[in-house]
Structure 1
Amino acid sequence: MPSFDSAHHAFTPTLLAVLKKHFGDYALDVFMSSPILGYLNNKTRAANRGSKARGAFANHYALYVVVEDYIQKGYAKENAGLSYAKYEGARFSDLFRRQRELPFGAKLQNHALNSRLNDEFKKFYPSVGKPPIVRDVATQRYWIQEDLLQVAVRHKDGKDHIYNIAPAVIEIINAYVEAKRAAFEGFLETCRQIAELGKQAPEKAIAFVVQQLASNVDARVFEIVSYAILKAKYGRETIWIGERKETVAKAALVLYKTGRTNANDGGIDFVMKPLGRFFQVTETIDVNKYFLDIDKVQRFPISFVVKSVESAEQIRTAIRQQALAKYRIEAIVETYMKAVEEIINVKDLMTAFDAVVESGGLQSVMDEIVVQSKVEFNYNDDDEEQDDEGGATLSLLEG
């Protein structure tokens, strides 16, 4: 198990507060003895708005729904006299439907339930030897690994006590989701306010956009703002194109966003028409990530939008050096490097944004950020529901 200091991050106190409520003075002992809680601690680093990590919920909710089923069937109660080993298991259709009912879960697929949670957990805790989710492929039934929910802690009197952490797991995930919800709603509301301010106080709108390109900004936000800037930039550029010489005409460049961030879209975030350019947004300079994206589109050239202050040449050089260390064959490396059409870094985005502002396009950037934020967070002005206190309720989902 990792040390407490190395595992601590901004959300950890919230996690520990939940454990304190359930386990009192032994909260820290339970935390340090539980791989599941350690895994959740790692998976909640993105709770604060400024986190670099994407706010993905697939693995959280795969764990959530099987633990929730475990609790609802009565197995978390002490002295209930029930044997989980004899339970027939939860049906996939019920778990799948339930995770899509949860905030941020409307577009979730089956991957986390079937393998991704188990695979990632094994990377964090290879020595545990037990997957969190047990699955019967033939019957499509699912179970939580009960051993991972029962944590043995030695009390001060020298006796061991078994704590069932199932209710605490549910409460921790709920707290994490609420933190992300508040951050996303706050960002969206800020976008709307700044978009309106941009008409009277453009300097505030400019400062806001610049802030969203910082290194500590959520990856989803960076992708949305990058798209808004590049769409405005290319929208002011034209080319001459036609099927025949006599039909050649001027055409504007149009950038399209292919889907929500973090989507399984084959590694393509933006597509440009009519040139057919592909764009991928990334925060890493990892050759494996770049080459995987290139392979997904059969080495069709891709322009990479990188959340980095390093120059395009520095990034390209770093990728090439990693590739040479990995493949050792220059011919293979060059094939991949030719597919890196352009590298657009934060400085390039800033330059493009300055040009857009100078040409009077600030409001178009702000309006696009609002539109894409609503798409990302599944917010529809026409479908606002009123909660019990009369406030607007947002429907949120994972991309």
Structure 2
Amino acid sequence: MTNNHQFTQVIFEMLNKYFDKNAEDIFQNSPLLQYLNIKTKSANKGSKSRPSLGNHYALYVLVEDYINKGFYNQKNYEDYEGARFSDLLRRQRELPFGEKLQNHALNHRLNMEFTKYFPTLGQKPILRDLETSRYWINENLLIIKVAKVNYNIAIVIKEIIDAYVNARQQSFRDFMSYCDELLEIENKDNNEAVNFIKSLLRPNVDARVFEITSYGILKTFYGEQKIFWGYSLEELTEDNLILYKTGRTNANDGGN
């Protein structure tokens, strides 16, 4: 189930670092790694990519809890009382871009999406007790057997998500740089300004830059057009066209 994309190389670099010649076999035998490979396509994808970190962070905080509590390569995780929901949610919101995350990914969204990709597996990443609000990572998905040897991928999972978030942060820094340049566009000559605007419409430009630039072009175009309206030819009103945008930039529904 390998769907190679640009970030796949980063995943395999980390697998090779920890597992050397067994990296490919571990990947092929790990639904969790394959799921992350699917979920990291937008790290280097085009301007229409809309990455969400909710499911990444739900997985991240549980794996982090698993490691920090000393269960990595140990055999007593089944005795763990579980992580508290409030602690997991607080930790999610401490992570980059995570301050507005809600409970959806921890409670059902990650498990639902994972099941969509692996419907016959019969395993879900998150285990939880509704009465006590305690949560566990499914250790069966962390232990991968290759050639009769068990390999724990918890640390690799955490590092893959860290690398993905770093890529998204770099994308955000690029976005801010584009915005700074847009503010200076009046100081450019016509040809330079046109070439710069064209560069912002390339497929690999951040979606927010694409949307802002597209809106600016359309608003300028329609702003120079007029309409005449009224109830009779004798009483007409002249108005400039106005382009409205509702919704926020990069909202999940795409705005209107």
Which TM class, normalised by the smaller chain length? Answer: 0.7 to 0.9
Cα pair distance change 1:203/1:18, threshold 3 Å: same
Deviation of residue 93 (structure 1)? Answer: 1.2
Amino acid at match of 1:63: L
Separation in structure 2 between the aligned mates of residue 223 and residue 15 of structure 1, nearest angstrom: 30
The residue that corresponds to 1:118 in the other structure is 111
Cα pair distance change 1:238/1:197, threshold 3 Å: closer
Map 1:221-300 → 2, pairs under 5 A: 221-233=209-221, 253=242, 255-263=244-252, 267=253, 269=255, 279=256
- 3-state SS of the aligned residue for 1:139? coil
Cα pair distance change 1:183/1:120, threshold 3 Å: same
Aligned residues: 251
Flag structure 2 segments of 5+ consecutive residues without an equivalent. Answer: 230-236
- 3-state SS of the aligned residue for 1:255? coil
- 3-state SS of the aligned residue for 1:162? strand
1:25 is aligned to 2:21? yes
Separation in structure 2 between the aligned mates of residue 66 and residue 152 of structure 1, nearest angstrom: 21
Deviation of residue 137 (structure 1)? Answer: 2.3
Separation in structure 2 between the aligned mates of residue 95 and residue 138 of structure 1, nearest angstrom: 16
* 1:194/1:205 contact within 8 Å kept: no
The residue that corresponds to 1:146 in the other structure is 139
TM-score, normalization: structure 1? Answer: 0.57
TM-score, normalization: structure 2? Answer: 0.85
Deviation of residue 228 (structure 1)? Answer: 3.2
The residue that corresponds to 1:162 in the other structure is 150
Deviation of residue 238 (structure 1)? Answer: 7.0
Amino acid at match of 1:24: D
1:64 is aligned to 2:64? no
Residue by residue, what CA displacement relative to the aligned partner does 1:210-264 show, whole Å, maximum 9, x if unpaired? 33334454444333333333444555567799xxxxxx9968736244224234x
Deviation of residue 9 (structure 1)? Answer: 1.2
Amino acid at match of 1:181: Q
* 1:51/1:216 contact within 8 Å kept: yes
The residue that corresponds to 1:319 in the other structure is none
- What percent of counterpart residues are identical? 48
Larger relative contact order, structure 1 or 2 (CA cutoff 8 Å, min sep 6):
2
* 2:35/2:117 contact within 8 Å kept: yes
Separation in structure 2 between the aligned mates of residue 208 and residue 119 of structure 1, nearest angstrom: 42
Residue by residue, what CA displacement relative to the aligned partner does 1:76-133 show, whole Å, maximum 9, x if unpaired? 1x2x45x222222111111111111111212222211111111111111112111111
Flag structure 1 segments of 5+ consecutive residues without an equivalent. Answer: 155-159, 242-247, 270-278, 280-399
User: Which of 71, 77, 85 is residue 84 of structure 1 equivalent to?
Assistant: 77
Amino acid at match of 1:86: D
- 3-state SS of the aligned residue for 1:142? strand
Residue by residue, what CA displacement relative to the aligned partner does 1:259-289 show, whole Å, maximum 9, x if unpaired? 24234xxx472xxxxxxxxx2xxxxxxxxxx
